[in-house]
Amino acid sequence: MRELTAELRAVRDLARAAQGAYEVDELLDRICASVSEAFGFARAVVSRYLPETDEVERVAAYGVSLDAVRALPRRLADWPLLRQAQQTGEAVLAADVQSDRAIPLDVADEFGTGALMTLPLMSQGRCLGFLSADRGGAPLGLDESARAGLTTIGVLAASFLERALMHDEQIRVDRLKSNFIALASHELRAPAAVVYGISSTLRLRSGELTHERLDELREALYEQSERFYRLVEQLLDLSRLEARSIRIEPERFAVLGMVEELVRAYAAERSLQVEVDVPVELEARADREAFERIVGNLIANALRYGEPPIRVTAEQRDRHFRLAIEDRGKGVPPEFAPHLFERFTRGHGPGARSSGAGLGLSIAQSYAQAHGGKLIYEPAKPRGARFELVLPNS
């Protein structure tokens, strides 16, 4: 009865905390501490579940540093224990999981294969996260009363986590609004001024100009308008990605046909400078529009900043789809490479990025990450730049 009383006291304390003026982070910390004290856990961790990538993010901890648990594997595929808890909606012990490896090997070495418990934090049928705990490697068992107490605590913890997510989302949205307004006004001002200036000249002074000068101005107007359009599209992409309003809907498709189509669209009359070496049978699992944005951007960059021949290759390896684009230009200067995927980064070569906003690679990386993948740069051999898109293909 003593243990049950401790559990009920923990529930009571958490219910009172929910009514108090606590910060979200403090509430989550109280969950870890209260549960640990009530059930005799040595360590407890609250994790947020990220359904878009099927990963977990550790947000609070007791008995262990948050930095230490953040370094643990994030993918749910590596944690059958968490997956089973998510599917059943109930507390699960690692020892009860019917799997050769309920938890990652490095975690099992520290916690023991059966000494870890995970409680899913459910709200309206959705799994918001997990509360995981252990007794410092000591045997761990849960009787019916303990499971009932944990279930009640899980409901409260889920409400706290939901509050945390809503709070963080509101802060993020407010910041995005401010950043986007500043970003758009700064980046659009220069091309807008150029387009306006050329248009004004054509309207007010066309009768004074030679045919050659008029042709030059019309060509410049077209080029600047195209740049303006491209920049607006990039800014809209960036804002939608940050607001998480773009839905990634992976589907399987043949890679060769898609790549050949993109080469024709982005290389146009320079298509012969691009060599495509992709197996006919190779398929990728990705969002088609996002794939086009990523690969199209890489082809355009290779043509704009690199030198032919440009080569596109793709393969399936290590459960991942990999597509590489490389050129034989001067490559990226070593001091610039670490900043290559940052926003508004220019400087691929001397003056090379002066015509762009420096958003393309940042957006391409964001699209890759939205798939649970990544975009990698490395120098090509013997010279040039090599970009590799890596996406999960299972």
What CATH number should be reported for the domain whose range is 249-394? 3.30.565.10
The 10s digit of each residue's pLDDT in 350-372 is: 444 444 546 778 888 888 888 88
Contact 141, 115 (CB under 8 A): no
Whole-prediction pTM? 0.48
Q: Report the Cα–Cα distance between both ends of the chain, in Å, rounded.
A: 49
Tell me the three-class secondary structure of 41-109, residue by residue. CCEEEEEEEECCCCEEEEEEEECCCHHHHHCCCCEHHHCHHHHHHHHHCCCEEHHHCCCCCCCCHHHHH
The 10s digit of each residue's pLDDT in 196-243 is: 888 888 888 888 888 888 888 888 888 778 777 766 776 777 666 655
* Span 2-164 CATH architecture: 2-Layer Sandwich (3.30)
- Alpha-carbon distance of 61 to 58, in angstroms, equals 8
The rounded mean pLDDT for the chain is 78
The 10s digit of each residue's pLDDT in 109-148 is: 665 555 788 888 888 778 888 888 888 777 777 777 777 7
Domain ranges (residues) in the chain: 2-164, 249-394
Q: Which residue has the higher pLDDT, 173 or 376?
A: 376
Predicted pLDDT at 348: 47
Tell me the three-class secondary structure of 156-215, residue by residue. HHHHHHHHHHHHHHHHHHHHHHHHHHHHHHHHHHHHHHHHHHHHHHHHHHHHHCCHHHHH
Residue type, 55: E
Whole-number percent of the chain with pLDDT over 70:
74
Least confident of 50-54, 55-59, 248-252, 317-321: 50-54
- Alpha-carbon distance of 241 to 247, in angstroms, equals 9
